[in-house]
Amino acid sequence: MNVRPPLAAPAPAVGTSRIHESARAQVAGAATYIDDIPEARGTLHAAPILSPVAHGRLRAVDTTAALAAPGVRGVVLAADIPGDPVLATFVHDEPIFAKDSVQHVGQVIGLVVADSAMAARRAARLVKPDIEPLPALLDARAAHAAQSYVLPPVVVRRGEPDTALAASGHVLEGQLEVGGQEHFYLEGQIAYALPLEQGQWRILSSTQHPGEVQHWVAHALGLANHAVTVECRRMGGGFGGKETQAGQMAVWAALAARKFRCPVKLRLDRDDDFMVTGKRHPFSYDWQVGFNDQGLITALKLTMLAHCGFSADLSGPVADRAIFHTDNAYFLSDVEIASYRCKTNTQSHTAFRGFGGPQGVIVIEAILGDIARHLGLDPLDVRRRNLYGVEDRNVTHYQMKVEDNILDPLITRLEADCGYRHRREALGAWNARSPVIKRGLAITPVKFGISFTATLFNQAGALVHVYTDGSVQVNHGGTEMGQGLNTKVAAIVADELGVPFERVLSTASDTSKVPNASATAASSGTDLNGRAAQYAARNVRDNLASFVCGLDGCGAGAIRFVGGQVISPKTVRSFDAVVKEAYANRIQLWSDGFYRTPKIHYDKATLTGRPFYYFSYGAACSEVVIDTLTGESRVLKVDILHDVGHSINPAIDVGQIEGGFVQGMGWLTTEQLVWNDKGYLSTHAPSTYKIPATGDIPEHFKVALWPEANREDNVGGSKAVGEPPFMLAISVYEALRNAIAAGRSGEAPAKPVVLTAPATAENVLRALGRLS
């Protein structure tokens, strides 16, 4: 063993930009998704039979023509379910296959199973369900009027909103409609069910929540959870759309596999994916706000209608998070928020990046924009005046103290760096000279609560294996959907063991390795799984440290692990050599780790307490241009300053901020879901549903990271990044309203700009008063 000091301590993996663990394979087309996995012999393919009617009595299903079609092996209907015919969701309100009634266009009545995916799809179109139509509720306002809900309403109140409203110097009221959003993951929903020996199952699923897929499949098949193993190496995007709703594919594929006693794969065609799966919840709002001459909010009364679709799915926690984020960054002294979870005859809307947060934030930002216009004040001044304080005005409407507020200095820096003040002036002058084309500018902040709102989900496990050659595998309960979780977890483990990043390999999520894992969601993948993996690695390191200090006669605390070396006061050994020798001495070289988030608690009935471990902050300045004759718009310039704490991987975090922002832009500008009067989603393909393209990315798009570490003890001093930047795109919406107001100048006082989201050309023209 060489006794020499290390040359130079190599950079730790945490805090350094590292290439995504799958990037090279993805670019080369060598990263496997479920549809790329070589099929087992005898694999059949399933395709769903969809309801063509939004609501009705299902009298019969005629499968004669489908069964006679080429390649068809048979059909799977509700009668073929050996276990519970209702999915094992929390609310237990969603049939696996529609039976007796249909509740939305696209509801799955059954499956056609065939030799090829195309044969199954063609034959599924030949199935004739016999449906007696019933009246359908197609939007949240209609459902609210009919008191049709998937869950009971929730009201959160603080202070005396009615009295405060009556005493307010100014009162404004309004309505707002905000549309939903299709996830448009590049890899559509897919599952592959493989029956194994003795009633056991292996399910390959593109899911954010393998543990729930395991549970649902076992429940539908009437088996114990231990008989089902679910695996997911990666998803081609999830964005919340695979938090629960990947489970249906797996259950359907497993039911088909059980009936035909062979492996079955089910991959939804893109159009079917649009028709079957839920989206971001569209929201409708009615609000009344009181404020003083400076634009300080003195009272707020808000009714929020969440358009949930035909079943509860995650609508309860989504609508709760909307309530939790109605303050965004602002202190609301006297406030009442009534939240209704409306049951409609559409797809069941589900998690989508931000999880109700965006639907909470947009309404308060819209209200602040209207207040500023009404008073003729700069909207940024009005926003800053309403921010949470540091010493006082720092308790949210759900009674959580905001202890880590950095928005004042953060906005100050962004405002200076992006030249907000002089650009506002220049823009006013520019608009005065431009009769048709108008520009708009806005800064909006975000404060996003990190933790699952359901406290129990804030736990995670991991396994770290050190092999005898010193190479390392880490497995954790999280899933990789492109967000870089595996890359971050590998860096955390590498640093804990003091080995080079390349020595650590992250492996596929697998319910037989880490059980009972939560969904990878709520942006907390790294917080939870990173910490669990760190603890697992720490256990192995402690074993090795005790072993080395036994050899060198020192305290275990004196051993350092750095740069692939193990350094005691006496000796420097390579990590690999220590591992070999430890193995020979029967030292355990692998371990588990478990983490649960500290400090959080809250009362589900009143929504009060501390639901979040900490907040992530950010602010964005967006400049847009509109054509007041056509309603077309473009985003010209975006400057973002965002707080990720001490970044674990700056390149990945900047990618998340850019991606989240652009996805938010899509939600608020071009991505329009249109259900016709029969409840049929007309925009069910990329031909009519427009996500942002590369050409929509603003030419000037600058992202900077706030330098301070997380003030709470979180892994590596970092903060979660997956969802919060999505809401920065609300600056685009506010900038558009600013441009629209410029296009309507002449009114005094300025009228509220009622802009239905998304701000399509038609909706911009409506807001301009040029289209009814």
Structural contact between residues 306 and 140, judged by C-beta atoms closer than 8 angstroms: yes
Q: Work out the number of other CB atoms within 10 angstroms of the CB of residue 301.
A: 20
Examine residue 411 and tell whether it contacts ligand HPA (CB under 6 A): no
Residue 237 binding: pick among ligand MOS, ligand MTE, ligand HPA, none (C-beta 5-8 Å cut-off by kind): ligand MTE
Q: Which lies closer to ligand MOS via its Cβ, residue 464 or residue 522? A: 522
Of residues 108, 120, 150, 351, which one binds ligand HPA by CB under 6 A? 351
d(CA 442, CA 370): 13
| Shortest separation between residue 590's beta carbon and ligand HPA, angstroms | 30
Q: Which of 737, 623, 565 is nearest to 1 (CA)?
A: 565
Give me the least distance between CB of 421 and ligand MTE, in Å please: 33
Say whether the peptide bond before residue 282 is cis (omega within 30 degrees of 0).
no
C-alpha span between 753 and 729 (Å, rounded): 18
Shortest distance in whole angstroms from residue 351 CB to ligand MTE: 7
Rounded to whole angstroms, the Cα distance separating 35 from 705 reads 37
Sign of torsion, CA 166 167 171 177? Answer: negative
Shorter beta-carbon distance to ligand MOS: residue 353 or 438: 353
User: Which amino acid, 34?
Assistant: I
Task: Please check whether residue 141 is in contact with residue 340, taking contact to mean a CB–CB distance below 8 angstroms.
Answer: no
Given ligand MOS, ligand MTE, ligand HPA, none, residue 649, with its beta carbon under 5 to 8 Å by kind, binds none
Q: Which of 228, 204, 202 is nearest to 216 (CA)?
A: 228
What mask, x for binding ligand HPA by CB under 6 A, covers residues 433 to 452? -------------------x
Question: What are the structure tokens assigned to 726, written together?
Answer: 């999505």
**Segment contacting ligand HPA by CB under 6 A, of 160-168, 425-433, 516-524, 677-685:** 516-524
Given the complex with ligand MTE, which of 329 and 485 has the nearer CB atom? Answer: 485
Residue whose CB is less far from ligand MTE, 54 or 521: 521
Residue 190, judged by CB atoms within 10 A of its CB (0-12, 13-18, 19+), counts as buried
Stated as kind and residue range, the H or E segment containing 493 is helix 485-497
- Closest approach of ligand MTE to the CB of residue 241, in Å: 8
Q: Which residues bind ligand MTE (CB under 6 A)?
A: 237-240, 353, 481-483, 485, 520-526, 656, 659, 722-723
Helix (H) or strand (E) holding 163: helix 161-166
Q: Which residue has the tokens 């001044």?
A: 381
Ranked by CB distance to ligand MOS, the top (closest) residue is 240
Taking residue 717's Cβ as centre, other Cβ atoms within 10 Å add up to 18
Q: Considering the candidates 132, 723, 747, 762, report the single residue annotated as catalytic.
A: 723
C-beta of residue 113 within 8 angstroms of C-beta of residue 120: yes
Q: Is 609 helix (H, G, I), strand (E, B) or coil?
A: strand
In the bound complex, what is the minimum distance in angstroms from residue 696's beta carbon to ligand MTE?
18
Q: Which partner, ligand HPA, ligand MOS, ligand MTE, none, binds residue 506 by CB below 5 to 8 Å per kind?
A: none
Residue whose beta carbon is closest to ligand MTE: 525
The β-bridge relationship of strands 190-195 and 170-178 is: unpaired
- Tracing tokens 């006679």 back to the chain, one arrives at 68
Contacts of 465 (CB under 8 A, 6+ apart): 472, 473, 474, 475, 589, 590
Q: What is the DSSP string of 639-701?
A: EEEE--BS-S-HHHHHHHHHHHHHHHHHHHHT----B-TTS-BS--STTTS----GGGS-SEE
- The 242-261 contact track toward ligand HPA, x by CB under 6 A, reads -x------------------
Residue with tokens 């998704």: 33
d(CA 510, CA 212): 12
* Residue 454 touches ligand HPA, criterion: CB under 6 A: yes
Taking CB within 5 to 8 Å according to partner kind, which of ligand MTE, ligand HPA, ligand MOS, none is near residue 321?
ligand HPA
Q: Any catalytic annotation for residue 723?
A: yes
Q: Is 297 helix (H, G, I), strand (E, B) or coil?
A: strand
Determine, following the binding rule CB under 6 A, whether residue 521 of this chain makes contact with ligand HPA.
Answer: yes
Ranked by CB distance to ligand HPA, the top (closest) residue is 522
Nearer Cβ to ligand MOS (313/495): 313
Identify whether the C-beta of residue 236 lies closer than 8 Å to the C-beta of residue 33: yes
* Shorter beta-carbon distance to ligand MTE: residue 214 or 523: 523
Could you count the other beta carbons within 10 Å of the beta carbon of residue 278? Answer: 27
Which of ligand HPA, ligand MOS, ligand MTE, none does residue 453 bind (CB under 5 to 8 Å by kind)?
ligand HPA
453 binds ligand HPA (CB under 6 A): yes
Smallest distance from ligand MTE to CB 115, Å: 32
* Binders of ligand HPA in range 359-378 (CB under 6 A): none
Among 183, 233, 321, 447, binds ligand HPA (CB under 6 A): 321
The most distant pair of C-alpha atoms in the chain lies apart, rounded to whole Å, by 85
Neighbours of 154 (CB within 10 A): 19
Instruction: Note whether 48 and 272 are within 8 A (CB).
Output: yes
Shortest distance, position 193 Cβ to ligand MOS, whole Å: 23
Instruction: Name the token pair of 399.
Output: 């009674």
Q: Would residue 184 be called left, alpha or beta, if left means φ above 0 and alpha means ψ between -120 and 50 degrees? A: left
Query: Cα angle vertex 374, ends 305, 630, to 5°?
Result: 75
Nearer to ligand HPA, 223 or 522 (CB): 522
CB of 447 to ligand MTE, least distance (A): 17
210 binds, among ligand HPA, ligand MTE, ligand MOS, none (CB under 5 to 8 A by kind): none
Q: Which is nearer to ligand HPA, 457 or 661 (CB)?
A: 457
Interaction partner, residue 483 (ligand MOS, ligand HPA, ligand MTE, none; CB < 5-8 Å by kind): ligand MTE
Q: Which one of 201, 330, 355, 726 is in contact with ligand HPA (CB under 6 A)?
A: 355
Which of ligand MOS, ligand MTE, ligand HPA, none lies near 526, with the C-beta cut-off 5 to 8 A by kind?
Answer: ligand MTE
Residue 99 is given by DSSP the state -
Sequence-separated (6 or more) residues with CB below 8 Å from residue 166: none
Residue 224, judged by CB atoms within 10 A of its CB (0-12, 13-18, 19+), counts as exposed
Q: How far is the CB of 25 from ligand MTE (least distance, A)?
A: 15
Residue closer to ligand MOS by CB (options 208, 647) is 208
58: contact with ligand HPA by CB under 6 A: no
User: To the nearest whole angstrom, how small is the minimum distance from the Cβ of residue 551 to ligand MTE?
Assistant: 39
317 contact, one of ligand MTE, ligand MOS, ligand HPA, none, CB 5-8 Å limit per kind: ligand HPA
Cα 512-517-520 angle, rounded to 5 deg? 120
Interacting residues toward ligand MOS by CB under 6 A: 208, 240, 243, 351-353, 355, 521-522, 723
For residue 522, state whether it binds ligand HPA (rule: CB under 6 A). yes
For ligand MTE, which is the closer residue by CB, 315 or 520? Answer: 520
Q: Residue 328: which of ligand MOS, ligand HPA, ligand MTE, none does it interact with, CB under 5 to 8 A by kind?
A: none
**What span, in angstroms and rounded, lies between the C-alpha atoms of 408 and 388?**
9
CA dist., res. 761 & res. 670, Å (int): 9
CB of 241 to ligand MOS, least distance (A): 8
63 or 348: whose CB is closer to ligand MTE?
348
Q: Is 221 or 314 the residue whose CB approaches ligand MTE more closely?
A: 314
Judged by beta carbon, residue 229 or residue 524, the one nearer ligand MTE is: 524
Shortest Å distance, C-beta 208 to ligand MTE: 7
CB 208 → ligand HPA: shortest distance, Å? 9
**Which are the catalytic amino acids?**
723
Residues near ligand HPA (CB under 6 A)? 243, 314, 317, 321, 351, 355, 452-454, 457, 519, 521-522
